[in-house]
Amino acid sequence: MTYNEIIIDLNTSELSKATDIITVLDLGGIYTEDYSDLEETEIVRRVGLIDEELLKKDRSRALIHIYVDENKPVNEYAAFIRERFLSENIDSYTIHIKKIDEEDYSTSWKKYYKPLKIKNIVIVPEWEEYTSNANEKILIIDPGMAFGTGTHETTSMCIEAIQQYINTGDTVFDIGTGSGILSITSLLCGAKQATAVDIDKNAVKTAYENAALNSVEKQFNSYILNILTQPAPEEKFNIVIANIVADVIISALPKIKTVVEKIFIASGIITERTEDVLTALSENDFEVAEIKEKNGWSCIIAEVK
């Protein structure tokens, strides 16, 4: 079987906006190549775990790869992307379409993922080898084509917050789990149980597989749930995590406050929407403990009043 690959070459400054647009369009599997801060990650500075060919990449440009089923109207998809980019004033880009076979589709993106350290958690792709230090916790992950590995600011800030606020024996509810990375981080940091939900059945499958890779599957539960349209769980959780987008967080807060006992970690919030989320948190009886910010994104840690 073959796929159509849409490759978008654009300025790194436009990458976050473009990726958000493409994610919402839900055209197919995606991965991005962004080397703008390649040598600034802690894992690179400390042990130099990086492919030499990546060091030669143009740091001012990024690539978005979108994999579309061969029977889908790929040219219409490309036109739709151009239309959305135009409306968002993204203009310095090129689009190239090519055929790719199934084997290349399923493996070509893997070579760009390397171990990443976030405080004491080291996220290691399943196909990579890494020798840990005594104080490090290894999180093994196979993200699948469209799920997070911790490299995005929203995910990394959540991982920092989990390590800071979780207590041994806590229970965790992870909304929009994707690869399961935040639930698994919670379990590695001492949580006794994590429940992870997502609207995508592939996310649920991937999250289960990653839990098994880290030997925490007995403490892990995942299922399909749309928090906006379906009832929230009847049980309560010590910590609730939602790494999604501001509008969903705001809309879901009345349900979220019924299931959280102590801490709510909200991420996926562009800085321009931070005040909107803060207002909604106050209206739903949360008190802000901390706001983390990184490269135009916010992560808000709130406590139940």
Q: What are the start-end ranges of the H helices in the chain?
A: 15-25, 42-47, 52-55, 74-87, 102-107, 153-165, 181-188, 201-213, 246-256, 274-283
Q: Is the dihedral of CA 100, 150, 8, 72 positive or negative?
A: positive
| pLDDT at position 103 | 61
Same domain, 264 and 172: yes
Same domain, 140 and 245: yes
Same domain, 167 and 101: no
Residue 76 belongs to domain with CATH number = 3.30.70.120
Domain edge (last residue) among 89, 112, 135? 112
Length of the chain: 305
Same domain, 94 and 122: no
The tens-digit pLDDT sequence of the chain (305 residues) is 678 899 999 998 898 889 888 887 777 778 777 765 443 433 333 333 344 444 445 667 888 988 888 888 899 999 999 999 998 899 889 999 998 876 665 566 566 677 888 999 999 988 888 888 888 999 998 866 444 555 578 888 999 999 999 999 999 999 999 889 999 999 999 999 999 999 888 889 989 999 999 999 999 999 999 999 999 999 999 999 999 889 999 999 999 999 999 999 999 899 999 999 999 999 999 999 999 998 889 999 999 98
Same domain, 79 and 131: no
| pLDDT at position 36 | 59
Same domain, 47 and 180: no
| pLDDT at position 144 | 60
Residue 257 belongs to domain with CATH number = 3.40.50.150
Domain edge (last residue) among 94, 112, 130? 112
Residues spanned by the domain of 16: 2-112
Same domain, 202 and 81: no
Question: How many folded domains does the chain comprise?
Answer: 2
